[in-house]
Amino acid sequence: MEYIANILFAIALTVGIGFFARNIRKLSRNIKLGKTVDTTDNKPQRWKNMARIALGQTKMVVRPIAGLMHIIVYVGFVIINIEVLEIIIDGLLGTHRVFASLGTLYDFLIGSFEILAFLVVVAVVIFWVRRNIIKLKRFIKPEMEGWPKKDGNLILYIELILMFLFLTMNAADLQLQTLGAEHYTKAGSFPISQFIAPLFEGMSVSSLIIIERIAWWLHIIGILCFLNYLYYSKHLHILLAFPNTYYGKLKPQGQLDNLEAVTKEVKLMMDPSADPFAAPAEDTVDPEKFGASDVMDLSRVQLLNAYTCTECGRCTSECPANQTGKKLSPRKIMMDTRDRLEEVGKHMDKNKGKFVDDGKQLLGDYISNEELWACTTCNACVEACPVSIDPLSIIIEMRRYLVMEQSAAPMELNNMMSNIENNGAPWPYNQQDRLNWVNE
Amino acid sequence: MSEKLSVKTMEQFAAQGEKPEILFWVGSAGSYDDRAKKISRAFVKILNKANVDFAVLGAEESCTGDVAKRAGNEFLFQMQAMMNIEILNAYEIKRIVTCDPHSFNTIKNEYPDLGGNYEVVHHTQYIKELIDSGRLSIEGEAYKGKRITFHDPCYLGRANSIFDAPRNVLQKTNAIMVEMERNKKTALCCGAGGAQMFKEPEKGDMDINVLRTKDALETNPNIIATGCPYCNTMMTDGIKAHQKEDTVDVLDVAELIANSI
């Protein structure tokens, strides 16, 4: 019987991590529905970007208040996880504060965890106020209604509860240490929880142990639950920001890729020795679909982008179309892409891992033509994203589908394009008049 | 008609067996749009003044395809690109200057994949080069003490990280340079990019150019300077929407310099 706690702990840990691993496999399978892109170039730059943008948070601080708060929560999250390591060892081995032998270093560590935990509480409260009391514009856009808003708040509540449990656990421990309870050797410094400890004054050792144990268990179970909540929330960015910044665009922002399938056809068209009546070669495959109407037509990096988006809305608040009341919101483009990808994933789960056409697609069912045509391709959204997401690339892919597969461009654009075809300029002027400006 | 400009085509250079220092890519707007044609003329005035041996393609130039690409028509873009590349390569062009950031971006970044490798500079960079090398000196004081705010074209600034050249050049006019609150990397688009120039905007509560000119007017400028023919049109219309066309001018960097030499 004496090992029952250890066994329960091991089971909780296995279930928590196992379930998480299962979701990560699903996530990876879904991302792999996208087309492969070559991202093997310039690895040093890619690592540098990851270190600078994800680890170093350089783009977060463009907005100083949100940036600073975010760094506190981020550093708090990373550092306090050292404590989780101790909790796991304690839980499995049945020890108590196994790192206590580190002495003054341990005191320093626990002390800094506590201060960070307190700062996280402050930051999370400010975040909550920004979302719910001040109602910052970017948090109350139409695409944030319903689940996305709840999701954002839920994450803040979970973080608050975890920090509260951590501090309660320490406060009870401190009180037990003061009372000289068995197993509770003097270890750690408690700059914050020393102010909670007085609440426990007069309590017996046994009730204190119960409080300490409950807080300890809820804390670790809470962390495991949070880990598993990630896949269902916008919060995956805490993990995916790293690969996403690694795979982010390295070329100048203004450079769009040239579709290779088109290059082949155009070269053939312009080759004077090509025989237009020649029978297609044996190995000819069906012509590739141009552009994207659904998530499978997008690249893996674009799908990773969608899972990485944490719906902060910096892209949307910088978007000139959105600022002037157009329907386009780059954040919605990313949210729609993820929602559709999840829907496709669920269909595959139901159909033994194979996707059967469900009569829906990203274009039309999620993203409207009106949104796509409102984009000025100005790259403000790309510049604003703190984790190197590129909503513009998805918009362009979908425009390509609309124009090259469906000829569904707005009429004025069709006129412009036929002008280019006929006289090499977007306006209906004669190419021979190109130099008239010199003498006007 | 204003003063006589000296412009030679590539065809003329080739006929004489000569090569120019640089090719001036005029672009469709610079060739046909009434407002943009003035920018082309101003830039040529600068080139003439600095005795630059430059060429244009004239009737052999065709749309870069930028606007088609951004509208989603990759076919049309690549057709245009390959036709242009064929001509540029036949003339063995090495260096290109253009007043249009869209042509600049497309030729510089998107042509190399298709076989067109050139050094491409924006006219503000080239003017700076002429000043720095002493080939061009700015003596006029037409804009001394005037308040000038520069609107960053998306395809020059954010897209290609060129922020300083136009500002450095403008400083030479002894004007007072004032920055809009959103500038350089965070500059707001004028609303013309991504093929918007050629269509009506989607339903909204304001036009983007009106919002951007509001940014500019907040700096209390005498002149809004641009480096893109499309931005110029959008900002000019925006100024009219704010009924400020009598007090604020919208001018290209080339025009400001041409008036100062």
Total domains, chain A? 2
* Six token digits for residue A121: 């509480």
pLDDT surpassing 70 at residue A276: no
Total domains, chain B? 2
Q: Are residues B198 and B218 in the same domain?
A: yes
Q: What percent of chain B has a predicted confidence (pLDDT) above 90?
A: 97
Q: Are residues A300 and A232 in the same domain?
A: no
pLDDT surpassing 60 at residue A401: yes
Tell me whether residues A318 and B5 touch, CB distance under 8 A.
Answer: no
Q: Are residues A223 and A325 in the same domain?
A: no
Question: What's the Cα-to-Cα distance from B155 to each of A107, A255, A256, B28, rounded to whole Å?
Answer: 54, 9, 12, 16
Domain range for A360: 251-272+287-432
Q: Are residues A295 and A403 in the same domain?
A: yes
Q: Are residues A265 and A378 in the same domain?
A: yes
Question: Alpha-carbon distance B63 to B100, whole Å?
Answer: 12
pLDDT surpassing 60 at residue B102: yes
Q: Which residue of B has its CA nearest to A253?
A: B159
Domain for residue B16, yes or no?
Answer: yes
Q: What is the mean pLDDT of residues A71-90?
A: 89
Instruction: Convert A227-250 to b/e letters by CB count within 10 Å (16 or more is b).
Output: bbbbbebbbbbbbbbbbbbbbbbe
Average pLDDT taken over every residue of chain A? 93
The CATH number that applies at residue A336 is 1.10.1060
Which pLDDT belongs to residue A285? 63
Q: Are residues B161 and B226 in the same domain?
A: yes
Q: Are residues A150 and A71 in the same domain?
A: yes
Q: Are residues B106 and B166 in the same domain?
A: no
Domain range for B49: 8-130
Residue B205 at interface with chain A, using a CB cutoff of 8 Å: yes
Burial of B259 (0-12, 13-18, 19+ CB in 10 A): middle
ipTM over 0.90: yes
The CATH number that applies at residue B52 is 1.20.1050
Q: Are residues B167 and B198 in the same domain?
A: yes
C-alpha torsion angle, residues A21, A27, A28, A29 (rounded to 10):
110
Domain for residue B223, yes or no?
Answer: yes
From chain B, pick out residues whose CB is under 8 angstroms from the CB of A425.
28, 31-32, 62-63
Q: Which contiguous run of DSSP H or E holds residue B43?
A: helix B34-49
Q: Are residues B113 and B212 in the same domain?
A: no
From chain B, pick out residues whose CB is under 8 angstroms from the CB of A396.
70, 72
Q: Are residues A259 and A216 in the same domain?
A: no
* Six token digits for residue A246: 């690694």
Domain for residue A282, yes or no?
Answer: no
Domain for residue B116, yes or no?
Answer: yes
Q: Are residues B147 and B115 in the same domain?
A: no
Q: Are residues B229 and B185 in the same domain?
A: yes
Q: Are residues A237 and A333 in the same domain?
A: no
Q: Are residues B97 and B41 in the same domain?
A: yes
The closest alpha carbon to B27, from B84, B110, B86, belongs to B84
Q: How far is A394 from chain B (nearest CA, A)?
A: 11
Of A252, A323, A326, the CB nearest to B202: A326
Domain for residue B2, yes or no?
Answer: no
Domain for residue A186, yes or no?
Answer: yes
Least confident of A178-182, A231-235, B64-68, B83-87: A178-182
Domain for residue A184, yes or no?
Answer: yes
pLDDT digits (tens, 9 = 90+) for A201-221: 889 999 999 999 999 999 999
Tell me whether residues B80 and A424 touch, CB distance under 8 A.
Answer: yes
Domain for residue A39, yes or no?
Answer: no
Domain for residue A76, yes or no?
Answer: yes
Q: Which of B106, B130, B154 is the last residue of a domain?
A: B130
Residue B5 at interface with chain A, using a CB cutoff of 8 Å: yes
Q: Are residues A264 and A221 in the same domain?
A: no
pLDDT surpassing 50 at residue A64: yes
Three-state DSSP class for A435?
Answer: coil
Tell me whether residues A435 and B110 touch, CB distance under 8 A.
Answer: no
> Do A266 and B75 contact (CB within 8 A), yes or no?
yes
Q: Are residues B126 and B12 in the same domain?
A: yes
Question: Alpha-carbon distance A293 to B52, whole Å?
Answer: 49
What DSSP designation does B109 have?
I
From chain B, pick out residues whose CB is under 8 angstroms from the CB of A292.
none
Domain for residue A281, yes or no?
Answer: no
Domain for residue B1, yes or no?
Answer: no
Q: Are residues B125 and B146 in the same domain?
A: no
pLDDT surpassing 70 at residue B49: yes
Q: Are residues B36 and B81 in the same domain?
A: yes
Position A170 confidence tier, pLDDT thresholds 50, 70, 90: very high
Q: Which of B96, B130, B164 is the last residue of a domain?
A: B130
Tell me whether residues B65 and A420 touch, CB distance under 8 A.
Answer: yes
Q: Are residues A89 and A197 in the same domain?
A: yes
Q: Are residues A228 and A368 in the same domain?
A: no
Tell me whether residues A427 and B30 touch, CB distance under 8 A.
Answer: no
In order, the DSSP letters of B148-192 are: EEEPPPTTTTTTT---HHHHHHHHTTT-EE---SS-GGGPPP-S-
Q: Which of B130, B161, B186 is the last residue of a domain?
A: B130
Q: How far is B220 from chain A (nearest CA, A)?
A: 22
In A, residues 354-393, which contact B (CB 8 Å cutoff)? 370, 373-380, 383
Q: What is the mean pLDDT of residues B98-111?
A: 98
Identify the residue with better confidence: B175 or A80.
Answer: B175
Question: What's the Cα-to-Cα distance from A139 to each of A120, A128, A256, A317, A337, rounded to whole Å?
Answer: 20, 11, 30, 10, 19
Tell me whether residues A435 and B7 touch, CB distance under 8 A.
Answer: yes
Domain for residue A259, yes or no?
Answer: yes
Which pLDDT belongs to residue A54? 95
Q: Are residues A196 and A302 in the same domain?
A: no
pLDDT surpassing 60 at residue A12: yes
Which pLDDT belongs to residue A279? 67
Residue A328 at interface with chain B, using a CB cutoff of 8 Å: yes
The CATH number that applies at residue B183 is 3.40.50
Q: Are residues B163 and B187 in the same domain?
A: yes
Q: Are residues A258 and A337 in the same domain?
A: yes
Tell me whether residues A254 and B75 touch, CB distance under 8 A.
Answer: no
Domain for residue A44, yes or no?
Answer: no
Which pLDDT belongs to residue B1? 45
Domain for residue B106, yes or no?
Answer: yes
